Amino acid sequence: MKAVYQHQTVDILVKEGILSRLLEHLDPHRRYFIITDQIVHHFYHDYLDQIQNHDVFIMMSGEEQKNMDSILQICKEMLTKNYDRSDCIIALGGGVVIDTAGFVASIYKRGIDYINIPTSLMAQVDSSIGGKVGINYLGYKNQLGSFYHPLKILIDPLVLSTLNKQEMTSGMCEVMKYAILFDCDMYDALLHHQYQLMELIRKCVLYKVEVTTTDERDVGKRQLLNFGHTIGHAIEAKYQLPHGISIAYGMYYESRRQDVLDLLLSYGLDFSISFDGLEEYILKDKKRIKDQIMQVKILDIGKAILVEGDIHDYFTE
Ligand SMILES: NC(=O)c1ccc[n+]([C@@H]2O[C@H](COP(=O)([O-])OP(=O)(O)OC[C@H]3O[C@@H](n4cnc5c(N)ncnc54)[C@H](O)[C@@H]3O)[C@@H](O)[C@H]2O)c1
- Please give the share of the chain, as a percent, with pLDDT higher than 70: 98
Q: What's the 291 CA to ligand 1 centre distance in angstroms?
A: 31
CATH code, domain with 17: 3.40.50.1970
Any residues with CB less than 8 A from the CB of 164 and at least 6 apart, and which? none
The pLDDT tens digits for 106-119 are 999 999 999 999 99
Number of separate domains in the chain: 2
User: Which helix or strand (DSSP H or E) is residue 195 part of?
Assistant: none
- What pTM was estimated for this model as a whole? 0.94
Query: Residues lining ligand 1, judged by CB closer than 6 Å?
Result: 37, 39-40, 43, 61-63, 66, 93-97, 99, 119-120, 122-123, 126-127, 130, 132, 142, 159, 162-163, 167, 170, 242-244
Residue ranges making up the domain that contains 189: 169-316
pLDDT value, residue 309: 84
301 lies in the same domain as 241:
yes
Given 101, 134, 161, the domain boundary residue is 161
Q: Any alpha helices (H) in the chain, and if so which ranges?
A: 38-48, 68-80, 95-107, 121-122, 165-182, 184-191, 197-214, 229-239, 243-255, 258-266, 279-283, 313-316
Residue 10: pLDDT band with limits 50, 70, 90: very high
Backbone angles phi, psi at 193, to 5 degrees: 55, 40
What integer best gives the mean pLDDT of the chain?
94
Could you tell me if 182 and 309 lie in one domain?
Answer: yes
Same domain, 188 and 311: yes
